[in-house]
């Protein structure tokens, strides 16, 4: 990039951050920040004690890119990585769309992004909020930059989950271990929680739509 272009862009970013607050992540003092001008991250290992400090930094320097860790550290500014001492991490779901006939795997089209958006809304409204009791204010969605979106969960109750617990959560979302026999023996209704309710609602809908079709068929 030409120096003149860079000067123009950073001065516009500075002006923007003088007037606007960035979206502050929770527990800012425990996250590592990185900033970029030429690249996405030119330097990192930065820590901010509070939201105001980050805003001041952005308004003074006008970086083109800002990143922060999904992990929480005792000492985010420390190096090497192990001395940061990890305390927990946001839950992050990476929703990507693949196998589109309209383009190669690096980019996405409107249709792909639409599909990805629907998957994001489905994950949030059908699973994260009702099944896990996560509140809307603790959920963030970011465009991942090419093929989809990242869904971040900042709910304190889930930050300390280890790798096995996170894998268990993914299994749950995929319906792994669902026992159709047990479901058939249960008294599940549309009001039942999680998968039982989901499947009961699905069956009810199917029955209702086939009942409507049968009625129509009878009429003509």
The residues that touch Zn ion, with contacts defined as CB under 5 A, are: 100, 102, 109, 112
Q: Which is nearer to Zn ion, 102 or 121 (CB)?
A: 102
Least distance CB 153 / Zn ion (angstroms): 27
Q: Which is nearer to Zn ion, 75 or 109 (CB)?
A: 109
Q: Which is nearer to Zn ion, 146 or 210 (CB)?
A: 146
Report which secondary-structure segment, H or E, holds 78. Answer: none
Least distance CB 98 / Zn ion (angstroms): 9
Q: Which is nearer to Zn ion, 112 or 120 (CB)?
A: 112
Lookup result for tokens 């001065």: 11
Which candidate, 5, 147, 10, places its Cα nearest to that of 66?
10
Q: Which is nearer to Zn ion, 15 or 103 (CB)?
A: 103
- Nearest residue to Zn ion, scored by beta-carbon proximity: 100
Q: Which residues contact 47 (CB under 8 A, 6 or more apart)?
A: 29, 31, 32, 33, 75, 76, 77
Q: Which residues contact 66 (CB under 8 A, 6 or more apart)?
A: 22, 33, 34, 35, 36, 58
Lookup result for tokens 């009878």: 218
Least distance CB 147 / Zn ion (angstroms): 9
Report which secondary-structure segment, H or E, holds 58. Answer: helix 51-61
């Amino acid at each position: 990039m030409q120096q003149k272009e860079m000067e123009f862009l950073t001065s516009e970013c500075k002006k923007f951050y003088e007037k606007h607050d960035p979206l502050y992540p929770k527990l800012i003092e425990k996250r590592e920040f990185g900033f970029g001008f030429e690249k996405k991250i030119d330097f990192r290992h930065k820590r901010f004690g509070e939201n105001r400090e980050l805003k001041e930094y952005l308004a003074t320097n006008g970086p083109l890119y800002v990143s922060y860790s999904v992990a929480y550290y005792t000492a985010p500014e420390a190096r090497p990585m192990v001395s940061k001492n990890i305390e927990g991490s946001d839950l992050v779901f990476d929703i990507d769309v693949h196998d589109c006939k309209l383009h190669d795997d690096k980019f996405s089209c409107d249709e792909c992004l639409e599909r990805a958006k629907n998957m994001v809304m489905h994950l949030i409204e059908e699973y994260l909020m009702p099944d896990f009791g996560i509140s809307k204010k603790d959920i963030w969605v970011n465009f991942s930059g090419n093929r989809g979106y990242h869904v971040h969960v900042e709910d304190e109750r889930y930050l300390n989950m280890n790798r096995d617990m996170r894998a268990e959560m993914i299994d749950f979302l995929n319906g792994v271990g669902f026992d159709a026999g047990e479901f058939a023996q249960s008294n599940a209704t549309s009001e039942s929680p999680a998968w039982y309710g989901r499947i009961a609602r699905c069956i009810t809908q199917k029955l209702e739509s086939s009942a409507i079709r049968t009625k129509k068929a009878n009429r003509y």
